[in-house]
Amino acid sequence: MTQTGSAPVRRLSRTSGGAGGWGSAQRLIPGLGLVPFALYVLIFLLIPTVLALTTGFFNRSGAFTWDNIAALVDPTVLKTFGNSLWISLLTAALGALVGAIVCYALLSFSPTSRLRASVEAVSSVLAQFGGVMLAFAFIATIGVQGLLTVLLKDVFGVALYPGEIWLYQMPGLILPYLYFQIPLMVLTFMPALSGLKPAWTEANATLGGSSWTFWRRVGIPVLAPAFAGGFLLLFANSFSAYATAAALISQGSQIVPLQIRTALISETVLGRENLAGALALGMIVIMIVLMLAYSALQARTARWQK
Amino acid sequence: MSTVKTLGSARRVRASHSLAPRRPFATTVLVVIGLLFALPLIAMVEFSLRTTTGHGLEHWTGLFDPANEFRYRPLFGGLVESLTLALIAIAIVILMLLPTTLLVRLRFPKLVRVLEFITVIPIAIPAIALVVGLAPVFGASIRIINSGTVVLGLIYGILVLPFAARALDASIRAVDVPTLVEAARSLGASWPRVFVRILLPVLRRGIVAASFISIAVVLGEYTIASLLNRQNLQVAIVSISRSDPYVAVIFSLLALAFVTVLLAVIGRIATPKRKVFDV
Amino acid sequence: MSDPTPTAQRSGVSVHFRAVTKEYGAQRALNGLDLEIKPGEFVALLGPSGCGKTTALRSLAGLESVTSGELLIDGEDVTRVPVNRRDLGMVFQSYSLFPNLNVIENVEFGLRTRKVPAAERTARAQEMLERVGLGDFAERYAHQLSGGQQQRVALARALVTRPRVLLLDEPLSALDAKVRTQLRDEIRRIQLDLGITTVFVTHDQEEALAVADRIAVMNAGKIDQIGTPEELYRRPETGFVANFIGQSTLLTALVHEGRIALLGREIDLTEPLPEGALARVRVRPENLALESFEHGEGEPGRVVTSSFLGSLRRTTVHLDSGLSIVVQHSAEDTPEVDQQVRVRLLQDVVTAHVD
């Protein structure tokens, strides 16, 4: 009785063992297919990332040191981080606000209208339009000989630069940055805004609510996560931007990316050898904080979102 | 209580439940912001047309004047370098990213999230921070590969990952790849045959979109090239801008126009054809 | 206008559409619509899509402005009153619960805009939730509810303010069949309880027949016929109504001496038609009988299809005269396809039209 009973069980287990062996062999060959990409990503992404995070802890001769990390609290470095955060905050806030207003204005036109399609297409180009080319666009516009500078002086008698030429200083970054921030916000925020259902506003109205009631109690709360998400994206975007600043500002290192440039080019900055590593670490830490903030935001709103 | 209704009252009835702002407000906002955004572009064109005496095409024609060949050589050299880098990045996308994405989708669904995570890293880590870690890797690799262009191209392959992966992913999701592959395999097609004859044609749009976005990203890249001392298009534009700002602006305009065309094509092929109603 | 008195349930009020016209550019969605709804009445606006029924409801709600004509609620001209001051309750076809508010907050929404004190607000909202059977769902969010539950909450939200009129814009059409019938009957029960005047837009004749006191069949921006479900079913005044309500087959016959010949019988007309006119008669499946070919009476034909509907069967017969006709009969008779049968008319009197 027991023997006959156990026989099928044993046979079953043997079969499954055999299938498992065959299965792992079957997985092994396709698994090899993953190797080239894995190696490539390891060498050109993961190792550089790890190096960027850790070089700050070593000196040129490879010995461990806290020296570079300690430099992160050096007043000069703190000031550049402050500058970077300030300019990111400002351009993200303005970009998010103006971008949201553009999206709101677009609501007045049908989603299938040519106007909306072209604004979205133009936004996707301009959101990519960072870097060096953007710097030249603004030099041509509000540089010393720029079109707007000349027009303002000749036609209205207004001097754009009564004192120093701020385009090549930190404040000069604000307008160029907004030039890619606003389109990026339009791209990020428009889907959320078009997601507001007409039935919600109609329900609000039939329940006695005014336009303001709708925005205060439904519209703004529903859009807030998308708006905040867009803001964080814009913030990260400004914070990590380098090329525009590099092309505009050739003197000094007012923001972190420019300070990394200086640290990479010159032998020593603030008497330290691997300051670039410490600065990169600082930047990455801030980016991670931004992303954690973003996912915390998502989690908070998850209670009423699918 | 009069039965005569004015337009004003009819509009008030609408306003309390319509999401959209009034048309005049919307139009004003869009026109003002549109003009502000057009201004730098107009200024670039105007700047490129400036001559010592007024306006003209001098700087544009001068670009192709053999007399200036020596002066502009670095610029065209940078252009060729950037196009080569773009080709290498596209090769990586098609030969490495695409097969890996398909393999993961078909055979290792558990790794989908891992792949997604990896392809997002280049966005999360600013290029200027990554370059700190890339510098030693570049130095080491160049000793093995012996071509700065190829190594930089490999690095650019990483930079375009987030964009290319998203474009490929969209087209892979649009068709039922597992079923297609099973069907082809059950008819006796070999794996290479499935890849070349079935998957490449089906995923054509995604591959084109991924390639174009890669070109757009590579043509605009300055950070890594400049800090690794490689002469690509953007680096060349910056160095020539010190002696000839007009040519720098002309090249910026041309690059922008080219990227616009690339992105427009992506937009055209990415969105499925739908009816367009004009309002 | 809004009346937050928490005391007795208000009884229904009357609603009048007076020559209401609505134009979208060159298109006329409503073409001089006249409709009088009595206090407490449940009226269904029934018709195919594009007949203007939804426009009529939305005009009454104030969500569409009308081109000309008047809308009266309780005798008061509301044509120019903005939607948020018309004091109506509305349930929409698409789920319209506010996603950021939970169920009870959704229901309280209209009480908040009417500045009802918090304690009373919650009590009334909870009571209305009990009424729609969702007393235990107060803390849920819309995405945690089924479609039917969402529409129940929407109903509670619309009713909790004790509006003058309840407007239902195809509230059941997104639901599946079983939930649909259930909610339909529940809406009717609650409506009768509250005595609230209700306008119900639907394209589903079965739904309208089941719940409405009166049905207004709409066609091209106007009412073709209005009446009780029985009146519309038994005495459709136009071909459109007859076609839209219930299943029927259109037959034509010559008028001769005040009678017509149908399916081999001479039949009287409810109203006389001119001699020699070509009368059109709609015959319903239940007014026909299937007879044996050899022994029965009526017109001969062959069975095309026959479908089992539980207690009865519906059989389509292709008559030898070239017409197809649907006959309803007991499920015990099971005609076979291609079998020769006869179709007999059970009525002695029919209503005919001349076009």
Mean pLDDT of B226-246: 90
pLDDT for C8 equals 38
- Choose the closest CB to C99 out of A206, A210, A222: A222
pLDDT band at A73 (very low <50, low <70, confident <90, very high): confident
Tell me the C-alpha distance between A112 and A45, whole Å.
41
Asked whether residue C210 is domain-assigned, the answer is yes
Query: How many domains does chain C contain in total?
Result: 2
CA distance B21 to chain C (A): 16
pLDDT band at A267 (very low <50, low <70, confident <90, very high): low
Tell me the C-alpha distance between A102 and A113, whole Å.
15
C98 touches chain B (CB under 8 A): no
B197 touches chain C (CB under 8 A): no
**Does residue C195 sit in the same domain as residue C48?**
yes
> Is it the case that residue B198 has pLDDT exceeding 90?
no
> Is it the case that residue A3 has pLDDT exceeding 60?
no
Asked whether residue A56 is domain-assigned, the answer is no
Asked whether residue C292 is domain-assigned, the answer is yes
Nearest-Cα residue of chain A relative to residue C85:
A208
**Does residue C293 sit in the same domain as residue C180?**
no
Asked whether residue C23 is domain-assigned, the answer is yes
The 3-state DSSP class for residue C237 equals: coil
Stretch (H or E) spanning C352? strand C352-353
CATH number at residue C85: 3.40.50.300
Question: Does CATH place domain B72-269 in 3.60.130.10?
Answer: no
pLDDT for C166 equals 96
Tokens for B149, please give them. 């262009």
**Does residue A15 sit in the same domain as residue A80?**
no
**Does residue A119 sit in the same domain as residue A234?**
yes
> Is it the case that residue A25 has pLDDT exceeding 80?
no
Beta pairing partners, C141: C102
**Does residue C260 sit in the same domain as residue C231?**
no
Tell me the C-alpha distance between B157 and B92, whole Å.
6
Asked whether residue A306 is domain-assigned, the answer is no
pLDDT for B11 equals 38
Phi-psi label, residue C221: left if phi above 0, alpha if psi -120 to 50, beta otherwise = left
pLDDT band at A59 (very low <50, low <70, confident <90, very high): confident
Nearest-Cα residue of chain A relative to residue C159:
A207
pLDDT for A250 equals 79
- Choose the closest CB to A199 out of C87, C88, C96: C96
- Amino acid identity at A66: W
The 3-state DSSP class for residue A76 equals: helix
Beta-carbon contacts of C5 under 8 Å, excluding residues fewer than 6 positions away, are none
B191 touches chain A (CB under 8 A): no
**Does residue A131 sit in the same domain as residue A267?**
yes
**Does residue A158 sit in the same domain as residue A19?**
no
Asked whether residue A45 is domain-assigned, the answer is no
**Does residue A172 sit in the same domain as residue A230?**
yes
Tell me the C-alpha distance between C170 and B28, whole Å.
38
Mean pLDDT of B39-51: 92
Tell me the C-alpha distance between C80 and B11, whole Å.
10
A226 touches chain C (CB under 8 A): no
Pick from C195, C210, C236: which residue ends a domain? Answer: C236
**Does residue C217 sit in the same domain as residue C297?**
no
Question: What residues 4-63 of chain B have any CB closer than 8 A to a CB of chain A?
Answer: 15-23, 25-27, 29-30, 33, 37, 39-44, 46-48
Tens of pLDDT, residue by residue over B240-274, are 888 888 888 998 899 888 888 888 888 777 654 44
CA distance C167 to chain A (A): 10
Chains A and C form CB pairs within 8 A to the count of 85
Asked whether residue A109 is domain-assigned, the answer is yes
C247 touches chain B (CB under 8 A): no
Report ipTM (2 d.p.).
0.83
pLDDT band at B66 (very low <50, low <70, confident <90, very high): confident
Asked whether residue C3 is domain-assigned, the answer is no
**Does residue C222 sit in the same domain as residue C287?**
no
Tens of pLDDT, residue by residue over A173-202, are 999 999 999 999 999 899 889 888 889 999
- Choose the closest CB to A208 out of C84, C99, C102: C84
**Does residue A11 sit in the same domain as residue A101?**
no
Asked whether residue C129 is domain-assigned, the answer is yes
**Chains in contact with B, counting 3 or more C-beta pairs less than 8 Å apart as contact:** A, C
Per the model's pLDDT, the better-predicted residue between A138 and B264 turns out to be: A138
Note down the domain range covering C320. 247-353
Mutate which of B13, B19, B279 to test chain C, going by most C C-beta atoms within 10 A?
Answer: B13
Asked whether residue A50 is domain-assigned, the answer is no
Asked whether residue A42 is domain-assigned, the answer is no
> Is it the case that residue A115 has pLDDT exceeding 60?
yes
Note down the domain range covering A126. 67-301
Partners of A204 on chain C (C-beta within 8 Å) are: 84, 98, 109
Q: Which of C235, C198, B277 is nearest to A111 (CA)?
A: B277
Tens of pLDDT, residue by residue over A8-21, are 333 333 334 344 44
Asked whether residue A52 is domain-assigned, the answer is no
**Does residue A117 sit in the same domain as residue A199?**
yes
Per 3-state DSSP, what percentage of chain A is helix, strand, and coil (rounded to 5)? 80, 0, 20
Sequence spans of domains, chain B: 21-56, 72-269
CB-based contact A205 C84, cutoff 8 Å: yes
**Does residue C169 sit in the same domain as residue C273?**
no
Tokens for A95, please give them. 């970009």
Partners of C70 on chain B (C-beta within 8 Å) are: 3
Tens of pLDDT, residue by residue over A191-238, are 889 888 889 999 999 999 998 999 999 999 999 988 998 999 999 999
Chains B and C form CB pairs within 8 A to the count of 25
CB-based contact B17 C84, cutoff 8 Å: yes
Partners of A217 on chain C (C-beta within 8 Å) are: 98, 101, 109, 112
Question: What residues 224-253 of chain B have any CB closer than 8 A to a CB of chain A?
Answer: 226-227, 234, 237-238, 241, 245, 248-249, 252
Query: How many domains does chain A contain in total?
Result: 2
**Does residue C272 sit in the same domain as residue C321?**
yes
Asked whether residue C8 is domain-assigned, the answer is no
Per the model's pLDDT, the better-predicted residue between B144 and B273 turns out to be: B144
CATH number at residue A176: 1.10.3720.10
Partners of A212 on chain C (C-beta within 8 Å) are: none
B1 touches chain C (CB under 8 A): yes
C63 touches chain A (CB under 8 A): yes
**Does residue A151 sit in the same domain as residue A253?**
yes
The highest-confidence range among A56-70, A245-259, B74-88, by mean pLDDT, is B74-88
Asked whether residue C260 is domain-assigned, the answer is yes
**Does residue A25 sit in the same domain as residue A119?**
no
pLDDT band at A166 (very low <50, low <70, confident <90, very high): confident
CATH number at residue C313: 2.40.50.140
Q: Where are the alpha helices (DSSP H) in chain C?
A: 53-61, 103-113, 118-131, 147-159, 177-194, 205-211, 229-234, 239-244
CB-based contact A207 C141, cutoff 8 Å: no
pLDDT tens-digit profile, chain C (355 residues): 444 443 334 578 999 999 999 998 888 899 999 999 999 999 999 998 889 999 999 999 999 989 999 999 999 999 999 998 899 999 999 889 999 999 999 999 999 999 999 999 999 999 999 999 999 999 999 999 999 999 999 999 999 999 999 999 999 988 988 899 999 999 999 999 999 999 999 999 889 999 999 999 999 899 999 999 999 888 888 878 888 888 888 888 888 888 888 888 888 887 788 888 888 888 888 889 998 888 888 889 999 999 888 888 999 999 988 888 999 998 888 888 999 999 998 887 777 777 6
A218 touches chain C (CB under 8 A): yes
**Does residue C35 sit in the same domain as residue C122?**
yes
Asked whether residue A53 is domain-assigned, the answer is no
Asked whether residue C4 is domain-assigned, the answer is no
CB-based contact B96 A36, cutoff 8 Å: yes
Would you call C200 exposed, middle or buried from its count of C-beta atoms within 10 A (0-12, 13-18, 19+)? Answer: buried
Buried b (16+ CB within 10 A) or exposed e, B248-277: bbbbbbebbeebbebbeebeebbeeeeeee
